[in-house]
Amino acid sequence: MATYLSNIGETSRILSRARRVLVIGCSGSGKTTLARWLSARYDLPFVSMDQAFFWLPGWISRPREEQRALIAEKTVEPEWIMDGTNPSSFDLRVPRADLVIWVRMPRHLCLWGVMRRWMKWRGQARPEMTEGCPERVSWEFFRYIWTFERRFAPKIASELRRYPVPVLEITSRAQMRRLLDLLAQQP
């Protein structure tokens, strides 16, 4: 039931009216950068799922029931830009979203994005991460990124089809720039 958008102009019009936007995608794809930009552009609260729901200091995973309770509490708020994929919580988030932006960059760009991020933030927590969770990389994390499209994208697509929500897939840096340029020109 999801409606996949193909027109960047149409998406920019939807975004100008949207009050709740999900930005999803593989790690390193640029989803957080996009979500932060949209948050600033439309003066909507930015919500990092990693920081708000998933991680406690020391890379301790918050209990799943607590994660879901926090997500449910946040999604009833009237405005947000939420950065994070986690299809297991789509049932809480997607029905409340006005738009889903799925950043689907090629895996080599995602790997490059993660490495750039690691070089910039190594030894410290990024602004959108829980304090006490310094930036890190591992072979397991690289494998997750390398296999994301094959292993996780089909589940994401299947879950999104369950909801009547507009979805924009951004698959290149050029497409991302076109969207940002259009949005920047809006009054």
Q: Quote the pTM value.
A: 0.95
Summarize the chain as % helix, strand, coil (round to 5). 50, 15, 30
Find where tokens 């304090």 sit.
131
* 44-67 confidence digits (pLDDT tens): 999 999 999 999 999 999 999 999
Q: Please say if the pLDDT value at position 187 is more than 80.
A: no
Structural domain of 114 = 3-185
| C-alpha span between 135 and 121 (Å, rounded) | 6
Helix axes 173-185, 8-17, angle to 10 degrees: 50
Domain count, the chain: 1
CATH number of the domain at 158, please: 3.40.50.300
Element (H, E) at 169: strand 166-170
DSSP strands (E only) in 6-63 = 20-25, 46-48, 55-56, 60-61
* 118-141 confidence digits (pLDDT tens): 999 999 999 999 999 999 999 999
